[in-house]
Each structure stands twice: as structure tokens, then as C-alpha cells.
Amino acid sequence: MRRAAIPLLALLLASAACSREPVVIDGSTAETFAMTTEKARRDLPIKDRLTFDAALKNVGGRRYSDKNPDATAREAFNGMTAFDVVADARARGLE
């Protein structure tokens, strides 16, 4: 009975370690934005990371007269996960 429980316990521990919440982007300051976007980027599969990077540089609704594009990006992506950012980018036609 104990021999059967050890592999089952190992499987449960491994699945618990893999199921974590995605990182939420915090746009409150430039430093926290940079830190949380880097962590959030790691949540994505490699094929979506370029789309994520492009989305951060091409904020929807941004105008040429925007005096602080970094602040606009922090405001636009605050509270989103990397998956949300990629979905938003695809909806805007970025790939």
C-alpha cells in the first residue's frame, strides 16, 4: 500500500508546483512595470513572446502627440497578464 502511495504523492506534488497563477502586470511605477512584465513574459510559450514584446511597444490608442509613451503603456497594461496582452495584441492585428 505504501509503495503505491509514493508515486501518487510525487505526481500530486509535481502538478501542484506547475499550477501557479500567472503574473499580473503592475503599472504603478516604471520599475514595477519593468519587473512584472519580465516575469509575466516568462509565463508565455516562446512562440508568443515576440507578440508580447511588440504589444508593449505598440500601445493601442497611442497618438504621435503622446508626450510619455511609457506611462501610456503602464496605464494600458496595468492589471493584465501576459496572456491578456497577447490576446489584445492579436485583436489589434499585431503578430
Helix H or strand E segment including 24: none
Does 14 reside within a domain? no
Does 52 reside within a domain? yes
Q: What is the DSSP string of 58-79?
A: S-TT--TT-S-HHHHHHHHHTT
Residue 87 CA: distances (Å) to CA of 9, 12, 33, 81, 83: 36, 31, 19, 10, 6
Is the pLDDT reported for residue 34 higher than 90? Answer: yes
pLDDT digits (tens, 9 = 90+) for 68-86: 888 989 999 999 999 999 9
Is the pLDDT reported for residue 24 higher than 60? Answer: yes
Is the pLDDT reported for residue 2 higher than 60? Answer: no
Domain span at 45: 21-91
When pLDDT is cut at 50, 70 and 90, the band that residue 87 belongs to is very high
The number of angstroms, rounded, from the C-alpha of 18 to the middle of its chain's C-alpha atoms is: 16
Does 39 reside within a domain? yes
